[in-house]
Copies of this chain bind each other. A is one copy, B any other.
Amino acid sequence: MPTKRELNSLKKQKAKETLKKLETLAQGVIKTAEKGQNPSIDIPIRALSNVDWNEKKRIIEMGDRTQSRTLFNVNMAKRFAQTFLVASACKELLDAGKTTSIRDLYYMTKHTIGKTSENTFDDQAESDPIIEDLEVTINTLREELHLFASNRGSLVGELTLVDAGDTIDARKQGSGGWAVPSIVEDDVIQFKKCDAKFILLVEKDAVWRRLNEDKFWRKHKCILIQSQGQPARGVRRLVRRMTEELKIPLYVLVDNDPWGLYIYSVVKQGSINLAYESVRMAVPGARFLGLSSYDRERYDLPDGSTIMLNKKDETRAKQMMKYPWFQERKWQREMKKMLDSKVKLEIEALSRKGITFISDEYLPRKLAEKDWLV
């Protein structure tokens, strides 16, 4: 186990690397200026037009196209200045060894320029994209710039980890669990003793509670994480690190509706909007454990357990059927079955078969029969 001193030194080392990237960016601009040229930076384009589906790696990747942002250009001058304002605030954070929220950063960098009535930023909606620009330009995650978004999610199970120097035994975290923080890089979180054979990520905290109360993780030797809907960055990055470093598979349990399937899809191959993160966040080997459109018949669930698909569900399912990463026959079948049966199924619907049906029958049988999709 790393000592607090070792952790601190790792933290400083990582901050130094990120600072170096920021400095290189700034020095490039200074050099151009010294030559009497128009300072500019090349920012990779974050749009569907610059997103590729890498079939071999099975992740959504950002393409190579970039866009120049120059200082002496009426349309770009403001964003050029904003980029360096954000970079400068991140430098301040890294120097101080502090982290902060993207909301905080907005306030930190917001001010009125000189005696004008012009603000550096009028709204967080202006500063957030600048953060993303900076991430892609210097190839770093916002967490490495010491910025965090909101956090959600909790964890229990057969794992001991170190969080900011404190040892957390996830086998002894009671009914509440350890709250997954938003920054889980290896200078904050380190894995110690793992007795788990797999990770189970459930989208709903009520289901997680059921499984934790039944001590499912102890019986089946796993790590149990809930994400309260679409997993926050902290949860995505954590499961990615766990699959890589602990070398155990990840199973995802979501509602049987297009939104549940999309949660799985983002965990597995990343999202279109933030394609540049996939390389550090996606878990291409993630297994879709359920609920499958076939579970209703396979597990003999009563009729009343389903909910009719609405117009929005149907549109979304049809849209998703066109995504390149859902072209394989198994996924097409899965979604077609959902559309044909005209119903969706929530994880909680398994309770129709008994309070602990999910812990005692559904999940054990799924795992034993290897009844999942990849």
Contact = CB atoms under 8 A, between A and B. Distances in A.
Interface of A: 92-93, 96, 98-101, 103-104, 106-108, 110-112, 119, 148, 150-151, 154, 162-168, 172-183, 188-189, 205-206, 209-210, 213-214, 228, 302-305, 346, 348-349, 351-352, 355-356
B181 A163 contact: no
Contacts of A165: 174
Contacts of A188: 174-175
Question: Which of A178, A179, A213, A346 has the most C-beta atoms of chain B within 10 angstroms of its own C-beta?
Answer: A179
A304 B111 contact: yes
B108 A351 contact: yes
Contact of A166 (B174, B182, B303): B174
Given A99-B209, A304-B110, A355-B92, A104 B348 contact: yes
Contact of A107 (B103, B110, B154, B305): B305
A111 B302 contact: yes
B173 A178 contact: yes
A69 B232 CA distance: 45
A167 B176 CA distance: 12
Contacts of A164: 174-175
B205 A150 contact: yes
A167 to B, nearest CB: 7
Contact of A213 (B98, B107, B189): B98
B206 A179 contact: no
A181 B179 CA distance: 11
Contacts of A352: 107-108, 110-111
B167 A163 contact: no
Contacts of A108: 351-352, 355
Given A98-B214, A111-B304, A151-B205, 16 more contacts: A93-B355, A100-B210, A104-B206, A104-B351, A106-B348, A107-B305, A107-B352, A110-B304, A110-B352, A150-B205, A154-B179, A168-B173, A174-B181, A175-B183, A175-B188, A176-B179
Contacts of A99: 209, 213
A166 B177 contact: no
A100 B356 CA distance: 10
Contacts of A214: 98
Contacts of A98: 213-214, 355-356
A188 B112 CA distance: 52
Nearest to A238: B176
Nearest to A149: B206
Contacts of A151: 176, 205, 209
Most B CB within 10 A of own CB, among A92, A206, A349: A206
A99 B212 CA distance: 11
A265 to B, nearest CB: 24
A112 B306 CA distance: 12
A349 B303 contact: no
A172 B167 CA distance: 7
Sorted from nearest, which 10 A-B pairs have the closest CB atoms?
A: A163-B174, A101-B206, A154-B179, A176-B181, A179-B179, A166-B172, A176-B179, A166-B174, A164-B175, A175-B181
